[in-house]
Amino acid sequence: MELADIMGLLGGLALFLYGMQMMSSGLEAAAGDKMKQILERLTANRFLGVFVGAVITAIIQSSSATTVMVVGFVNSGMMTLRQAVWIIMGANIGTTITGQLIALDVGVIAPMIAFVGVAIVVFSKKPKLRHIGNIFAGLGVLFIGMDMMGAAMKPLANSEGFVNLLSQFENPILGILAGAVFTAIIQSSSASVGILQALANSGVVQLSSAAFVLFGQNIGTCITAFLASIGTSRNAKRTTIIHIMFNIIGTIIFTTLCIVTPLIVFMEGTAPGNPAGQIANLHTTFNVVTSILLIPFGTGLAFLAEKILPDKGEEDTGLHLEYIHNQGNIQEDQLGLSAMSMNSTKMEVQRMLEMAKVNVNKSFDAFRDRKAELVIEVDNQEEYIDYLNKEISKYISRMITHERTEKGSEMFNSYFKITSNIERIGDHAVNIAGYTLMMKEKDIKLSDISKQEVVQMQAVCNELFEHLLCEDAGVLDEYEKIASLEQKIDDMTEEFRSGMMSRIQQGICSDEGSILFSEMLTDFERIGDHALNISKELTKIRLSIN
């Protein structure tokens, strides 16, 4: 094999992988912000879930990309472990479309497919059409790369040493091991199967050897999802285990069939004189039959994965992010990245908002009843809220650089503003609780009227938080309710301040007590302002989604 052939092989592989990346990016940009809704609707039924996984993978020509997406969705809480089982099965079926297209020699029209895609990208002004153009352009580039690899490997048919090496793969163990290792290195079963087909078309390898390599390639493709699951939640890791189990079970079944039955002869008869077609048919048969056999046991696979990787015991309850994981392993071209990162951000922001709600309640309790022990709890919780604000903001800053759509960037920007406003609510809760210490130090007591007013303020704040955390009602209805409550807070603040002045004039309220109560009213009013700011941004987000 000469240097020019080696360069052709590497160049073809580069184009193949880049074509897959282009298709993945196009699909993500075209449907990324709707990915969550699509999956929620279609994964409730196992057969629909398998279909969705197959279609997505057929479009982007990469089961690895689909599986990595699923790992991310499970990690972000968008998908359950049992829903993931069906998508993974479908992904294994969908990835066989690449081999079938290669066997049909679609590469002949690959330049035209690429031209159409590039023309759409260059001349279309509509973002959605340009994303679709990226998908077509990527498909064309992919097959141009396959043609280059096939041409580069033709001389190998005359290499006695290489042919002898491949003949060793008739040993099932060696063949499976070789396929798994090679696919793990290039992290693409579609590319490795394509190379195997190119070798077969060149007459270098026969189906009797290629079959076991093919089975190993199905196992090797799991490495990408395995790497993506490092640093993720337990369920995300279990998703990878299910992927590995699926392909290992399929390999055991089909290796046995190849040894004890004339399966190889039968598959050769499905495409006489077309070695690439024989490999494609075996690849499709492997994944379709394995899926059919395992569909009834999908929940069992999930249960087994939970047994292999059980939940940990009580973990450290220190400061941590609950829904945002694996920040150091963000891949720009990861399918579904926008949807999963948006969902993780949303869940983490909701958690932060719930903490702020608890802190506001505790601060009013502390102020009303002079409970100094609650002040410490409020301060500790505020430290957690500050931590979440910093970490969520850092995550949002990173994700905006990967966001492909203007709508997605605007949604991340809204979440950024929301976290800042929640943090400010937390500060006002600390202020209210802090007045408790001054009251105890100077032996200041609230009048019964003032205590009742504090109870009313606390109730309005609770109502505010309930509407901010509610997702069931209409988007604009919630905003109008919060705006009405914010106005009510302004009116209450003015009313209570006037009442306080009257009590001062009547001599039933101390100067120091009135100062603290006035400061507390200011914090109360500011909480309403920040809640309205949050509601405005939440309204923008929910309208964008709908």
Q: Which pLDDT score, from 0 to 100, does residue 161 have?
A: 65
In this predicted structure, the answer to whether residue 38 has a pLDDT above a threshold of 70 is no
Using CB atoms within 10 A of its CB, is residue 47 exposed (0-12), middle (13-18) or buried (19+)?
exposed
Q: How would you classify residue 298: left for phi > 0, otherwise alpha for psi between -120 and 50, otherwise beta? A: alpha
Q: Which pLDDT score, from 0 to 100, does residue 160 have?
A: 64
Please work out, in degrees rounded to the nearest 5, the angle formed at the alpha carbon of residue 277 by the alpha carbons of 274 and 278: 90
Q: Which pLDDT score, from 0 to 100, does residue 299 have?
A: 87
140-176 pLDDT, tens digit each: 887 788 777 767 766 765 666 666 666 677 788 988 9
Both tokens of residue 429? 């809760």
Considering the chain, what percentage of its residues have pLDDT values greater than 90? 32
What pTM was computed for the model? 0.68
323-333 pLDDT, tens digit each: 886 554 555 55
Mean pLDDT (the chain) is 83
- Structural domains of the chain sorted by starting position, each given as residue range(s) with its CATH number in brackets: 3-308 (no CATH), 336-545 (1.20.58.220)
Both tokens of residue 405? 């759509």
| Sequence-ordered list of residues with C-beta below 8 angstroms from that of 62, at least 6 positions apart, any chain | 20, 23, 24, 95, 188, 190
Half-sphere exposure of 533 (CA within 13 A, CB side): 18
Q: From CA 512, how far away is CA 519, in angstroms rounded?
A: 11
